[in-house]
């Protein structure tokens, strides 16, 4: 089995995945409640919490799999991108575990980990396909040709889709994480009540900053009592604009590349309206694997080269893609 470790943002996660892509155990300790009072993730607080959680989470994953470190053939860890302090906790823990057992270590790009969530059983997908990755930190279109061969087709020029959801939720006075809060409230509103813009940028890139500004103006211009009455309509219309931007770009990319199948991964892939707007044969990551987790990191590691001891002792994390 491969032991995967993920600490790129505010989830401390460990998982055990076998060579066939079966998830033997997946444990995720979220810090969402801890950061709610700040309206978003505070990097220093996240790093300190990872330090407290990493050992218990790994122990829990091993126990859930009915395994010990003797059953682990390699350790995989998110190397980046993400919050550098948070990443360093995971990288240090993975190095220590690998070094103690003289196991190989496999560094994994977090974004490719999201794509690899589609390779896990029981619904493992086979490339090629066109993948939309939409999360709190990234929004991009990827031509997935093989498990270890990808071509970036487009990405956001400013805010990521998940970031747009979080900032929109803050403007509407909703909780954190913003995506889930807007998704819930939008079910009570009229998505046609407001006409928010969908940016048209060159190529296959995305832009969400103008949409966020449009919501800011709409909220600012409403009296407090009117805002309270229209909050659900604003949430529904704002969500519809984000979903339109994602789906329309995905459709254009599919036409240009001739892709027979499309997929969506990342935290925003859990959005109910987005999932409903995709073709019936679209490849969808299971809801439990949309947000950050270590099973996807172990999944990606199956197709990546491993670093032998002691080569990985100099391994460092990186914050940006």
Looking at residue 32, its pLDDT comes to 81
Residue (of 319, 313, 308) closest to 104 by Cα position = 308
3-state secondary structure 166-235: HHHHHHCCCCCCHHHHHHHHHCCCCCCCCCCCCCCCCCCCECCHHHHHHHHHHHHCCCHHHHHHHHHHHH
Residue (of 185, 132, 140, 137) closest to 163 by Cα position = 137
> CA–CA distance from 172 to each of 69, 163, 245, 294 (Å)?
47, 14, 20, 32
Looking at residue 206, its pLDDT comes to 96
- Spatial neighbors of 208 by CB under 8 A, at least 6 apart, are 139, 156, 158, 159, 160, 161, 163, 164, 199, 242, 245
Mean pLDDT over each residue of the chain, to the nearest integer: 95
Beta bridge partners of 206: 156
Mean pLDDT of 249-270: 96
How far is residue 146's CA from residue 302's CA, in Å, rounded to a whole number?
A: 13
CATH architecture of 2-121+291-314: 2-Layer Sandwich (3.30)
Helix (H/G/I), strand (E/B), else coil: 160: coil
Count of positions (residues) in the chain:
321
pLDDT tens for 121-179 read 999 999 999 999 999 889 999 999 999 899 999 999 999 999 999 999 999 999 888 89
Q: What percent of the chain is modeled with pLDDT above 70?
A: 100
Residue found by looking up tokens 């059983």 in the block:
121
Looking at residue 144, its pLDDT comes to 97
CATH class belonging to 129-285:
alpha beta
Residue (of 204, 50, 246, 17) closest to 116 by Cα position = 17
pLDDT tens for 65-96 read 999 999 999 999 999 999 999 999 999 999 99
The ranges assigned to domains in the chain are: 2-121+291-314, 129-285
Using the predicted structure, report yes or no on whether residue 62 has a pLDDT greater than 90.
yes
Using the predicted structure, report yes or no on whether residue 321 has a pLDDT greater than 80.
no
Looking at residue 213, its pLDDT comes to 95
Residue (of 130, 78, 51, 44) closest to 299 by Cα position = 78
0.85 surpassed by pTM:
yes
Using the predicted structure, report yes or no on whether residue 262 has a pLDDT greater than 90.
yes
Residue (of 183, 133, 181) closest to 32 by Cα position = 181
Looking at residue 36, its pLDDT comes to 82
Using the predicted structure, report yes or no on whether residue 37 has a pLDDT greater than 90.
no
Using the predicted structure, report yes or no on whether residue 230 has a pLDDT greater than 90.
yes
Looking at residue 192, its pLDDT comes to 97
Looking at residue 285, its pLDDT comes to 87
How far is residue 149's CA from residue 44's CA, in Å, rounded to a whole number?
A: 34
CATH topology of 2-121+291-314 equal to that of 129-285?
A: yes
More confident residue, 201 or 6: 6
Residue (of 61, 45, 44) closest to 6 by Cα position = 61
Looking at residue 107, its pLDDT comes to 98
């Amino acid at each position: 089995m491969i032991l995967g470790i993920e600490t790129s943002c505010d989830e401390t996660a460990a998982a055990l995945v076998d060579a066939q892509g079966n998830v033997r155990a997946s444990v995720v300790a979220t810090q969402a409640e801890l950061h709610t009072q700040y309206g978003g993730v505070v990097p220093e607080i996240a790093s300190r919490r990872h330090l407290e959680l990493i050992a218990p989470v790994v122990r829990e994953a091993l126990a859930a799999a009915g395994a010990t470190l003797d059953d682990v053939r390699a350790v995989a860890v998110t190397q980046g991108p993400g919050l550098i302090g948070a990443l360093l906790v995971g990288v240090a823990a993975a190095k220590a575990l690998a070094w103690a057992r003289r196991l190989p270590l496999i560094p994994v790009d977090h974004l490719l980990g999201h794509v690899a969530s589609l390779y896990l059983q029981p619904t493992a997908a086979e490339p090629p396909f066109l993948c939309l990755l939409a999360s709190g930190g990234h929004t991009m279109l990827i031509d997935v040709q093989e498990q270890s061969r990808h071509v970036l087709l487009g990405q956001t020029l400013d805010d990521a889709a998940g970031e747009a959801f979080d900032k929109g939720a803050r403007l509407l006075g909703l909780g954190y994480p913003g995506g889930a809060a807007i998704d819930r409230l939008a079910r009570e509103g009229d998505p046609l009540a407001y006409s928010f813009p969908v940016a048209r940028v060159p190529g296959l890139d995305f832009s969400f900053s103008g949409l966020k500004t449009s919501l800011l103006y709409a909220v600012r211009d409403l009296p407090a009592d009117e805002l309270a009455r229209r909050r659900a309509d604003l949430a529904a219309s704002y969500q519809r604009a984000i979903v339109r931007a994602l789906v329309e770009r995905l459709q254009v990319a599919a036409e240009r590349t001739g892709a027979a199948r499309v997929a969506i991964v990342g935290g925003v892939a859990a959005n109910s309206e987005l999932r409903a707007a995709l073709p019936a044969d679209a490849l969808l990551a299971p809801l439990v694997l949309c947000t950050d987790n270590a099973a996807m990191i172990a999944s990606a590691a199956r197709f990546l080269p491993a670093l032998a001891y002691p080569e990985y002792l100099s391994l460092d994390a990186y914050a940006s893609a």
